[in-house]
Amino acid sequence: MLPTQSPTPYHKPTPTPYTKPTLYDAYEDMQQDILDQLKAPSTATFCKYSDCDFTIYDDGTIAIEGWVDAQNSYGAMLRTHFRSNVAYDDQGNAEIYSIIFPVN
């Protein structure tokens, strides 16, 4: 005779509660947008989080100003300043618009 097993009760997984993105999340999210605009993204070094200027607007948009060091198309390492606006929807998906200021 085969031993009988009692059925394992099904436990519905508890959904992970939505947590509002932080300024550090915005800092990390904007980096990829900036990298997509660089000639040599693998050479990029971003300013530290603490060196950035953050502004939070009434609509929740986070503006980030900082700099990135990266090689240009000639191989010279240049410091370039940027401004990124990061906005999140209700599910935490980021919409990012970044401007890299040309070096004079």
Radius of gyration of the CA atoms of the chain, in A: 22
Q: Which spans in the chain are helix H? A: 23-35
**Spatial distance between the Cα atoms of 37 and 33, rounded to a whole number of angstroms:** 7
pLDDT for the residue 103? 61
Per-residue pLDDT of the chain (104 residues; tens, 9 = 90+): 555 665 566 666 666 666 889 999 999 999 999 999 999 999 999 999 999 999 999 999 999 999 999 999 999 999 999 999 999 998 889 999 999 887 65
Q: Cβ(62)–Cβ(85) under 8 Å?
A: yes
> If you ran DSSP here, which 8-state letter would residue 75 be given?
S
Put simply, whether the predicted model's pTM sits higher than 0.85 gets the answer no
